[in-house]
Amino acid sequence: MLTPHLDDISMECESCPIRHRAVCARCEPNELERLEEIKYYRSFEAGQTVAWTGDRLEFVASVVTGVAALTQTLEDGRTQMVGLLLPSDFMGRPGREVVRYDVTAVTDVVMCCFRRRPFEDMIARTPHIAQRLLEMTLDELDAAREWMLLLGRKTAREKIASLLAIVARRDAAVQLATTGGRMEFDLPLTREAMADYLGLTLETVSRQISALKRDGVIELASKRHITVPDFERLLEETGDDTDGGILA
């Protein structure tokens, strides 16, 4: 278990790794003090369920470390991942008690939980928290819509390339500038989780990864460790309109 454990996480907001990007990003010291009173940390092991659809949940939370997934299921068991929660992402909806998606830990996860009621009160009294939450929600909505385009219109190969590009972008952003397009990263997802995210079967995921490897778009040191020799080349494989859109 190499992921940070509860003991390794600072209990102080001031030194929190997601301090500047989470819902509390614009809080003043005195507001942080109030948050400290209603917050507590919880950790979940990879694979563990955080909440089931239909559950009453007495907290909302920020992801501190690790990756969690939101998943929906059809009657006969077909499942679709509808969101990935990365560090600093927010889970739960103020004003709604009941969870609408299954939430599961993809890797080991540490969450900073706020008791629901006090947090809702705090939002009502602290407008800039609501504004920050609005910003984050609008970003999530943009991401969800990008994902709709992927699910509705992209080929299996384009889907894989898009996922790799997204993971690469966020977790190796620094490398890009320094190494002239070469990037390296670990996939936090199993083939099955990738399939659930991309609306494919795990066999198709595996085949397309092999194909991208065969075509030199990526290299595989191990099954989960990926090297992208030329990021531009990867982007071409995503099918995206590269000039029309704006880079986040």
List interacting residues with its own copies (CB under 8 A). Answer: 53-54, 70, 72-76, 78-80, 82-83, 93, 95, 98, 100-101, 123-124, 127, 130-131, 133-135, 137-138, 140-142, 144-149, 151-154, 198-199, 239-242, 244-246
Q: Which of 151, 156, 166, 176 binds DNA (CB under 7 A)?
A: 156
If one asks whether residue 239 binds DNA (CB under 7 A), the answer comes out as: no
SS3 category, 237: coil
- Considering only residues 63 to 102 of the shown chain, the ones binding DNA according to CB under 7 A are none
How much helix, strand and coil, in percent to the nearest 5, is found in the chain?
40, 20, 35
Minimum Å gap between C-beta 244 and DNA is 21
One residue of 200, 217, 226, 235 binding DNA per CB under 7 A: 200
Closer CB to its own copies, 7 or 241, in the complex: 241
Q: Should residue 223 be labelled a site residue for DNA when binding is judged by CB under 7 A?
A: yes
Residue 41's SS3 state is: strand
Lookup: tokens for 81: 């991942």
| β-pairing verdict for 109-115 and 59-65 | antiparallel
* Closer Cβ to DNA, 116 or 157, answer by number: 157
Among 5, 117, 125, 224, which residue interacts with DNA (rule: CB under 7 A)?
224
CA 86 – CA 163 distance, rounded (Å): 14
- Locate 97 and state its tokens: 């008690």
The β-bridge partners of 13 are none
Measured CA to CA in angstroms, residue 19 lies from 7, 100, 110 at distances of 18, 27, 14
- 16: tokens are 């929190």
E strand segments, 127-229: 183-186, 219-220, 225-228
**Which partner in DNA, its own copies, none is near 175 (CB below 5 to 8 A by kind)?**
none
209 binds DNA (CB under 7 A): yes
- Of 107-115, 127-135, 138-146, 188-196, the segment contacting DNA by CB under 7 A is 188-196
Is the Cβ of residue 207 or residue 233 nearer to DNA in the bound state?
207
11 binds, among its own copies, DNA, none (CB under 5 to 8 A by kind): none
Tracing tokens 């929906």 back to the chain, one arrives at 72
Minimum distance between the CB of residue 198 and DNA, rounded to whole angstroms? 8
Write out the H or E segment, with its range, that includes residue 29: helix 29-38
